[in-house]
Structure 1
């Protein structure tokens, strides 16, 4: 059997046909005509020498041969992606790409850093994904990204996490909140307020709850929001108080929409971390970005810098 004329496009078409069970839907998803999908599947069957699909009623199914071809084609695509990543290590920094995920709490901060990095490396292709902490960790686990920027990295995963920038957490409230102009607020008084918090699994949420638990306190009332912008808006209109990264609300505080409350023990001093899988062989562009972060932030000496990037 000579299969040298099989194309990756034909394999993609077969995969989509198996996923949708319809020539029409497969054609729509692939932006092809229905006849083009049909012709390519027939050509693939001619190369294989076996029927790859069968129609039962109105739905198209893959035959056993079709399923076997699809399984092997998935392996081929995976190997080609690995080859592409391997070849990145042979390119110069500015010919490469940086695949990075950022937790939503670090959104504006990380975008500013990336903009400054690209002033020096304008041709680096940046693929940025802004997601919640759980999704960022899943991307690292699947090896879909080179690295991530987040606050509190988990301790139970096979990750290398390097602190590179201070991340102060402050308590914010609406500009007209009764506690704004009073004396420094005890924690016991603060926990009586309604808190606007991120969803379970958020690194900031976990840090906040651990802090209060460490002082024998528990938040009495809470509203849950799935992104930081919603939290800031909720606080602005008086729905509660919140604990957020100071850098993320500076403009709103300066504009008079929000206020920083003076609270016992605050600000909470945390760090932003650059995180990637242990043992990951970073291509030139990601390695250069990691080096840039550590050089330009809170590395105190050349010796410390040399130790931390090794």
Structure 2
């Protein structure tokens, strides 16, 4: 066997995400680079690790055993790194965060200086929808989560870090049509484009439309804000989207805001954690960093 730690890390991430594309995004690699490393890793085993059926990745029983062993190896490597940093009297450990998909436009600005000041800290970020984000906190799988709507449970503490505005958008051509979304005429208009069930943006969008008396809709449902954005730019329909993720497209003229009563909808980005979870030294340090630097970060990057 001649596999590398890099191959182990990539294989574990592919198993966790069941996707080459998602693994590449989370590892900040290109999709071809991930595919090549998986191919080279597989070449060292006579038994298949992964199976691709209908463009979907399935992990074989043998692959699951190899993934479990690989995780153990990587944990040992992390432990060695942590001990090395500890002798240098530096903060060490891993910070696990789950975020809603639009959170990728927010969290990096809160991590950048923190990681520069603490090179012994490693970050694990799971990007998913709101339902799974909350579930990861309840299952004690992460230290923090980042969401952008109201909390329904009292089992979490939080820090309000940033305002989040949601607006109705279309591309420049469809926005000029000024859709009514009236029940009697909506069947003749372009559809509304929604996120999947469990999405915080979807929840906010449905609540707004209900208040406007729009209950019977033609709709398209997509699994990410990026997919929704591309569909709206292509002229497939309209959507209510977080402004933070579409500023450049509005500035460049690919998208246009459609004024409506009750819009924009303003919520708060919240860094949340379970009240009963005892924070690790790394988690406590990050919490303090956010509290001390939130205003500076807002003024520097989100003013």
TM-score interval for Structure 1 and Structure 2 normalised by the shorter chain: 0.5 to 0.7
Please tell me whether the aligned partners of residues 104 and 132 of structure 1 are also in contact (alpha carbons under 8 angstroms): yes
Q: In the TM superposition, what are the counterparts of 1:196-211 in structure 2 within 5 Å? A: 196-211=193-208
**Unaligned 5+ residue runs, structure 2?**
1-40, 48-71, 297-303
Confirm or deny that 1:121 pairs with 2:115: no
Please tell me whether the aligned partners of residues 132 and 198 of structure 2 are also in contact (alpha carbons under 8 angstroms): no
**Unaligned 5+ residue runs, structure 1?**
1-27, 35-76, 300-310
Which of 131, 141, 156 matches 2:138? 141
Q: CA deviation at 1:119?
A: 3.1
Three-state SS of the structure 2 residue aligned to 1:204 is: helix
Please tell me whether the aligned partners of residues 165 and 298 of structure 1 are also in contact (alpha carbons under 8 angstroms): no
Determine the C-alpha separation between the residues in 1 that align with 2:128 and 2:208.
Answer: 24
Please tell me whether the aligned partners of residues 175 and 258 of structure 2 are also in contact (alpha carbons under 8 angstroms): no
Aligned to 2:57: none
Please tell me whether the aligned partners of residues 199 and 225 of structure 1 are also in contact (alpha carbons under 8 angstroms): yes
Determine the C-alpha separation between the residues in 2 that align with 1:187 and 1:297.
Answer: 39
Determine the C-alpha separation between the residues in 2 that align with 1:111 and 1:272.
Answer: 14
Q: Give the direction of change, closer, same or farther, for the CA distance of 1:260–1:286 in structure 2 (3 Å limit).
A: same
| 1:159-214 alpha-carbon deviations (Å, 9 max, x no partner) | 2233221001111111222537x6xx87759x935211101111111111112223
Q: CA deviation at 1:151?
A: 1.4
Confirm or deny that 1:232 pairs with 2:229: yes
Q: CA deviation at 1:259?
A: 1.4
Please tell me whether the aligned partners of residues 93 and 284 of structure 1 are also in contact (alpha carbons under 8 angstroms): no
The two structures, once aligned, show a CA RMSD in angstroms of: 3.7
Determine the C-alpha separation between the residues in 2 that align with 1:108 and 1:287.
Answer: 23
Q: In the TM superposition, what are the counterparts of 1:179-258 in structure 2 within 5 Å? A: 179=176, 188=182, 192=186, 193-218=190-215, 220-258=217-255
Aligned to 2:108: 111
Confirm or deny that 1:97 pairs with 2:94: yes
Confirm or deny that 1:285 pairs with 2:282: yes
Return the index of the structure with the highest Cα Rg. 1
Q: CA deviation at 1:157?
A: 6.4
Aligned to 2:129: 132
Determine the C-alpha separation between the residues in 2 that align with 1:100 and 1:237.
Answer: 33
Q: Give the direction of change, closer, same or farther, for the CA distance of 1:294–1:261 in structure 2 (3 Å limit).
A: farther
| 1:142-165 alpha-carbon deviations (Å, 9 max, x no partner) | 211111111125414632233221
Normalised by the length of structure 1, the TM-score is 0.61
Confirm or deny that 1:294 pairs with 2:268: no
Three-state SS of the structure 2 residue aligned to 1:176 is: helix
Q: Give the direction of change, closer, same or farther, for the CA distance of 1:194–1:106 in structure 2 (3 Å limit).
A: same
Three-state SS of the structure 1 residue aligned to 2:198 is: coil
Q: CA deviation at 1:232?
A: 0.4
> When the two structures are aligned, how many residues end up with a matched partner?
223
Determine the C-alpha separation between the residues in 1 that align with 2:90 and 2:137.
Answer: 22
